[in-house]
C-alpha cells in the first residue's frame, strides 16, 4: 500500500534581503513511497534534498503541488492542511530528524528522548526506560544519559537526536543526514538500531554516505539541480558516485 504520494511539488524562496529575488529549491517533483519502504535521497549539495524533506514535514510550505499522506484517519494533504492537523500527525505518525539536535536547555539526554513519549501514551518511567534502552543501543556512554546534551560532542548529540526520532516509532520517518557526524562503526550501529527498533516504519532519508545507501535503502531518488532525475531500486544504483 502507498503511504506517501508527492505530486508536482515545487518550492521557491523569495529572498527579501536581496530585493525579492527568487531561489528555486526544487521543481516538479513527483514520486510515491510504499508502506515499509526505505527511500534514500542523494544528489549534489544545493540540489534541493533538505528542502524537500522540510516540505514533507511542513517545516516549509511548498509553493505548489501536493503531498498526500495516508494517515490512520484517512488521506491528508500535508502541503495544504491546517496547522493543527500537521501537529497531530507529528505527534502520532510523522517523525523527522535533521543532522543537528535542537538544544533544550537543562534537559538530560534521557528526557530529551523520553519526553515525546510521556507526552503521548506512555507512563514517565516506561518512557525513560525506552529512552535509556535506545541510547544504550546507540552506544551513548552511560554516564552521559543523565547529562545535558549541550556539552556533548557532535556525534553524541546526533545519537540523542536519532534516538528521539526513533523512540515514538512513527509510521513515516524523515531523516536528513542523521549519521553525518558518526564514525563508520557507530554509523553501522545506528543503522542496526533503525532496523531493530522501528516496526514497519517507512523511511525517507537524505544520505551522502555510500555505505548507508547501499546497506539499507530499498530505492534511491537521485536529485540534480532542483529536479528529481530518477527513482531506482538500490541494487541498480550500486557503483554510482554519490555527490
Ligand atoms: N530557507 C531558505 N531560504 C532561501 N533559500 C533556501 C532556503 N533553504 C534552502 N534554500 C536554497 O534552496 C536550494 C536547495 O537547498 P537544500 O538545502 O534543499 O539543498 P540540499 O540538496 O539539501 O543541499 P546539501 O546537500 O548541501 O544539504 C539552495 O540553493 C539553497 O540556498
Ligand 1 neighbour 243 (Cβ under 6 A): no
For the stretch 67-96, pLDDT in tens is: 999 999 999 999 999 999 999 999 989 999
Does the predicted interface ipTM exceed a cut of 0.90? yes
Question: Is residue 40 pLDDT above 80, yes or no?
Answer: yes
- Contact (CB, 8 A) for 132 and 145: yes
Q: What is the pLDDT of residue 173?
A: 97
- Contact (CB, 8 A) for 52 and 29: yes
Q: What is the pLDDT of residue 149?
A: 93
The best mutation among 46, 53, 100, 180 to test binding of ligand 1, ranked by most ligand atoms within 8 Å of the C-beta, falls on 46
For the stretch 200-235, pLDDT in tens is: 899 999 988 777 788 889 999 999 999 999 999 988
Distance 23 CA to ligand 1 centre (A): 9
Q: What is the pLDDT of residue 212?
A: 79
For the stretch 108-162, pLDDT in tens is: 999 999 999 998 889 999 999 999 999 999 999 999 999 999 999 999 999 999 9
Distance 199 CA to ligand 1 centre (A): 31
Query: pLDDT over 90 for what percent of the chain?
Result: 76
Alpha-carbon dihedral sign for residues 160, 162, 165, 167: negative
Q: What is the pLDDT of residue 133?
A: 96
Task: Determine which of 42-46, 49-53, 169-173 has the lowest per-residue pLDDT on average.
Answer: 42-46
Query: Could you name the CATH architecture of 2-236?
Result: 3-Layer(aba) Sandwich (3.40)
Q: What is the pLDDT of residue 224?
A: 93
Distance 47 CA to ligand 1 centre (A): 7
Residue spans of beta strands (DSSP E) within the chain? 2-15, 21-34, 38-43, 64-71, 74-77, 94-97, 172-176, 202-206, 219-224, 227-233
State how far the Cα of 243 lies from the Cα of 240, in Å rounded to an integer: 10
Ligand 1 neighbour 158 (Cβ under 6 A): no
Q: What is the pLDDT of residue 55?
A: 98
Of 236, 231, 240, 188, residue with least CA distance to 212:
188
pTM of the predicted structure, to 2 decimals: 0.94
State how far the Cα of 10 lies from the Cα of 28, in Å rounded to an integer: 6
Amino acid at each position: 500500500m502507498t503511504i506517501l504520494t508527492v505530486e508536482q511539488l515545487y518550492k521557491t524562496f523569495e529572498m527579501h534581503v536581496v530585493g525579492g529575488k527568487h531561489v528555486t529549491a526544487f521543481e516538479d517533483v513527483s514520486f510515491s513511497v510504499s508502506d515499509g519502504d526505505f527511500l534514500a535521497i542523494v544528489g549534489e549539495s544545493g540540489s534541493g534534498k533538505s528542502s524537500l524533506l522540510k516540505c514533507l514535514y511542513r517545516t516549509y510550505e511548498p509553493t505548489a503541488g501536493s503531498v498526500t499522506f495516508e494517515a490512520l484517519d484517512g488521506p491528508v494533504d500535508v502541503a495544504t492542511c491546517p496547522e493543527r492537523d500537521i501537529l497531530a500527525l507529528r505527534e502520532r505518525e510523522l517523525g523527522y530528524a535533521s543532522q543537528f539536535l535542537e538544544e533544550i536547555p537543562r534537559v538530560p539526554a534521557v528526557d530529551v528522548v523520553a519526553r515525546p513519549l510521556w507526552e503521548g501514551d506512555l507512563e514517565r518511567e516506561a518512557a525513560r526506560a525506552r529512552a535509556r534502552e535506545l541510547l544504550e543501543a546507540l552506544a551513548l556512554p552511560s554516564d552521559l544519559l543523565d547529562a545535558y546534551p549541550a556539552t556533548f560532542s557532535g556525534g553524541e548529540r546526533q545519537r540523542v537526536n536519532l534516538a528521539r526520532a526513533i523512540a515514538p516509532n512513527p509510521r513515516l520517518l524523515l531523516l536528513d543526514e542523521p549519521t553525518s557526524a558518526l564514525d563508520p562503526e557507530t554509523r553501522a550501529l545506528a543503522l542496526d538500531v533503525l532496523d531493530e527498533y522501528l516496526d514497519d516504519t517507512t523511511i525517507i532519508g537524505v544520505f551522502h554516505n555510500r555505505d548507508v545507501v547501499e546497506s539499507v535503502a530499498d530505492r534511491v531518488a537521485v536529485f540534480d539541480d532542483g529536479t528529481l532525475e530518477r527513482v531506482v531500486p538500490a541494487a541498480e544504483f550500486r557503483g554510482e558516485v554519490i555527490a
